[in-house]
Structure 1
């Protein structure tokens, strides 16, 4: 449908159900790394569950409540970004991401999320964009900082994950703040 260049061989494209095999192969390559902080990797353990996960986001997109995009590096799917929540009535959405090791350290997530936030603010008129990250996920926290987001607080031990309870940080950027950040 479309591909947006992220530079350095990176592209942002829709991640749709027909890509289930490619998505599953990507998750299998990065399963342990991806699952350090998010449960995403447990949602796709075989082709049926991978297709079902992608279909759930196709349905969210059709309902205008969420969207899912893949990040390809030199033609290989290495991660993705999403609107986990998209509430146009309230003007609030939540963006998120994941990567396998081959995609890390290149700025791909930061550039991809910029595309999503630009679209949400300028095309859809969203007022508030949220980002949630485990306090120990320093890479995700750094993305929020690079995006000019404000750390609003920590929900202590709020996310049970892999037998431990993680502290979750809430970050956000408001539309006017985003526009000012983009001008800099």
Structure 2
């Protein structure tokens, strides 16, 4: 699925653009750095596997991914939605960031922008995120953007062969006839 990405605050000196197959090598390079995927369920992160994944985003209607890039177009991270279920009004937020660019608010602002965009542009009522219980940086992002922790999903996904617990977070838009929240936290 291709779509016009939401804007990021200009103070970040970064923007979102559709992810492209030629991003696969840079994406793989930072995902392969020590510790980057330690607290995730990522599988094959080779350039070839990521290029195939990127091609799937372009063709598939149930997922999208944008590159977070600097003013020169350098890949800093990615953000997007998986498991987009328009019939049910929901999708799952996903993001990652090159460790060299962590601590600048990029993941927080990108995640917030995508959640608000999904509510406004796609009309989805529920944006959820599942996060490994040991992934403190990602939990902090979800807390900062105001997503609510709904509970634990026991043995939800296998991480390198071992079943692990995940937290379920969600940003749920108000029901019809009530005021819809916008995440600003």
Does 2:148 correspond to 1:150? yes
Question: How do residues 27-176 of structure 1 correspond to structure 2 at under 5 angstroms?
Answer: 27-31=28-32, 32-40=34-42, 42-46=43-47, 48-60=48-60, 63=61, 65-75=62-72, 76-176=74-174
Question: For the Cα contact (< 8 Å) 1:16–1:54, is it kept in 2?
Answer: yes
TM-score, normalised via structure 1 length: 0.83
Match of 1:4 in 2: 7
CA–CA distance in structure 2, aligned partners of residues 174 and 51 of structure 1:
32
Match of 2:19 in 1: 15
TM-score, normalised via structure 2 length: 0.83
Question: For the Cα contact (< 8 Å) 1:4–1:13, is it kept in 2?
Answer: no
Higher relative contact order (CA 8 A, sep 6+): 2
**Unaligned segments of structure 2, at least 5 residues:** none
**Shift of residue 179 of structure 1?**
4.2
Question: For the Cα contact (< 8 Å) 1:87–1:93, is it kept in 2?
Answer: yes
Where is the helix percentage greater, Structure 1 or Structure 2?
1
Q: Over aligned residue pairs, what C-alpha RMSD do you find?
A: 2.4
SS in 2 for 1:180: coil
| Number of residue pairs matched by the alignment | 176
Q: After TM superposition, what 4+ stretches of structure 1 lie above 6 angstroms from structure 2?
A: none
